[in-house]
Amino acid sequence: MLAHRTAYERHAPDPRLVERALAGSRQAVFWLEDSGAEARHPELTASTTADLTIVGGGYLGLWTAVHAKRRDPALRVTLLEARTVGWAASGRNGGFCEASLTHGEENGRARWPEEHDVLDRLGRENLDAFEDDVRTLGLACEWERTGALGVAVEEHQVEELRGEPHFLDAAGIRAEVDSPLFLAGVLEPDQNALVHPARLAHELARVAAELGVELHEHSAVTELRRTSSGAGLSKIEVHTDRAVVTSDQVVLATNVFPSLLRRNRLMTVPVYDYVLMTEPLTDEQLASVGWAGRQGLGDLANQFHYSRLTADNRILWGGYDAIYPTGGQVRARHEDRPASHARLASHFLATFPQLEDVRFSHRWAGAIDTCTQFTAFYGLSHGGRVAHAAGFTGLGVGATRFAAQVLLDLLAGEPTERTELRMVRERPLPFPPEPLASIGINLTRWSLDRADHRQGRRNLFLRTLDRAGLGFDS
C-alpha cells in the first residue's frame, strides 16, 4: 500500500466537475488549428538534385535548412516532410523554449560533469541567439522571454528548493501564481521563453523558403542509397514513392519516427504526453490566479505537470502521464486516452479550484522522442555524408536550434567547440528490443509513481538505473 496520497489526490475535485470541464472539449491540437495546419508546400513529384537534403519538417529540419542557407546562400537545399510542416511534436508541444541543452542541470552534471560549465554557457548563448533570430528574421511566433517557475507541491520538495537562488516561500510563490497546492517555488528569470509552437514551425518554413530552400510536404522518404558518380564521387539518393533527390549530403531529422538508419532503431522510444487547453480566461478568472509575470510553470514531481498562458490567456495544462505504447509504435490511436485527460483535468481543478467554471476547449497528445540520456545524440554515416540527431526527450524547442548547428558542423568536417563536446561525440545506451523495452519502461514508470507517493524516496530499481546512467523522463 502506498504511504500517502499526492497533493493532487488529497485535493481531488468532485468527479462531476471534471466531467463538466471536459464535456465540450475536442480532440484537436489547439496550436495547429490556431496557426492553420494545411499543406503549404508541393509534393515532390520529379527527381532532382541538391547539395543538402533534409528529411523532416519539424524544428530540427527547419533550423538546419535556415542555418545552411545563412552559412552559404548558394547552397541548393531541399527539405522533405512526410506530412505537413510542424504537424508532429513541433506543432503540439507546450511551447517552452529552455536554455538547457542537457535536460536540466542535474542530468548535465551527472553525465558530463567536466563539460557542465561549457554546456551551460552554450545553452544560454543559444537561447539569446534564438531570441535574436526571432527579431532579425521576423518570426511571428508569440515569443515571450518570461522565465520559468518551479513549484513544490509536497513538503519534501520544499527542502529540495531551499538554498536555490530566487527561492520563493509559500507567500512568495502564491503572489506569483495563486494555488493552494503551491508550498514554495524557485524563479529562473532568464532561462526560458514561451513560443507558439506551430507558428514557430510555420515561420521557420517561411524564412527557409524565402532563403531559397525547396520545401516539399507529403513526400515521405522511404530509403537512402549510396551511389558513385563516374568520377568516383559518392552521392546519396534520397528516395520517396514518386521521386529521388540525388544529394551530396543529407540530414536526418525524423526524431521520434523510425530511423532510416538501422543502427538507430533502438536508440529512441516514443512516449506519449497528454495536454489540455482551456477556453480563454475572463479578466476576473485570470485575476483570481494572478500570473502577472506569465512565466512557464512546472512542478517538481517525477510525474510532473507543466503549464503556461497563451497570448489570449488560455491555460495549457499538460504532463503527468507519460505513456509508452506496447510495441513502441507511433500511432494516432494512442493520442485518444480519456483516462489521461480526465486525470489532467482533475489535477488542474485541484491546483486552481477558483477556476472550477473554466471549460477545456482542446485535448490532444504527442509522441516524445525519448533516449536514455534524455538529450539529443548525434552521428554520421554513409562515409560522413549523412548526419543525424534525435532523442531530445521533450526539450527540443530550444535545443534543436543548437543541434542543427552541430549537424552542419559535422558535415563540414571541421572540428568546432560544439563537435568536440563529449555530449556530441558519444552515443547513449540503446533501449532493449521488445518485449524487454515494455517491461523495463513500465517498471520504471511504476517505480516513479511509487516514489511520488513516498516523499520522493526512490526504490532499489530506480537507484540501480541512476547508477547505470539510465532511467526514464518525459
Least trusted range by pLDDT, from 77-91, 218-232, 252-266, 425-439: 218-232
Residues in CB range of 117: below 8 A, 6 or more apart: none
Average pLDDT of span 282-288: 98
Question: Which triple of cell numbers denotes residue 56?
Answer: 523532416
* 253 neighbors 54 (Cβ within 8 angstroms): yes
Using alpha carbons, list the distances in angstroms from residue 127 to 3, 401, 444: 41, 9, 32
The pLDDT of residue 201 is above 60: yes
Given pLDDT bands bounded at 50, 70 and 90, which one contains residue 1?
A: very low
pLDDT of residue 229: 62
What is the tens place of the pLDDT at every residue in 76-131?
999 999 999 999 999 999 999 999 999 999 999 999 999 999 999 999 999 999 99
Q: Determine the straight-line distance between the first and last CA of the chain, rounded to whole angstroms.
A: 26
Residue 444 forms part of a structural domain: no
Residue 168: CB atoms within 10 A of its CB come to: 21
Question: Which triple of cell numbers denotes residue 62?
Answer: 527547419
Residue 457 forms part of a structural domain: no
Residue 458 forms part of a structural domain: no
Question: Which triple of cell numbers denotes residue 452?
Answer: 511520488
pLDDT of residue 450: 86
Residue 356: CB atoms within 10 A of its CB come to: 14
Residue 468 forms part of a structural domain: no
Total number of domains in the chain: 1
Average pLDDT of span 317-335: 94
Residue 33 forms part of a structural domain: yes
The pLDDT of residue 230 is above 80: no
Distance CA 33, CA 25 (A): 14
Distance CA 281, CA 121 (A): 38
Least trusted range by pLDDT, from 215-229, 325-339, 398-412, 441-455: 441-455
Distance CA 431, CA 298 (A): 28
What is the tens place of the pLDDT at every residue in 150-167?
999 999 999 999 989 999
Residue 75 forms part of a structural domain: yes
- CATH number of the domain to which 327 belongs: 3.50.50.60
Task: Examine residue 432 and say whether the peptide bond preceding it is cis (omega within 30 degrees of 0).
Answer: no
pLDDT of residue 474: 46
Domain that holds residue 270: 7-425
Average pLDDT of span 399-424: 97
Percentage of the chain exceeding pLDDT 70: 97
Question: Which triple of cell numbers denotes residue 326?
Answer: 506496447
Phi-psi region of 170 (alpha: psi -120 to 50; beta: other; left: phi over 0): alpha
Residue 288 forms part of a structural domain: yes
Residue 278 forms part of a structural domain: yes
pTM of the predicted model as reported, rounded to 2 decimal places: 0.95
Percentage of the chain exceeding pLDDT 90: 87
Distance CA 209, CA 194 (A): 24
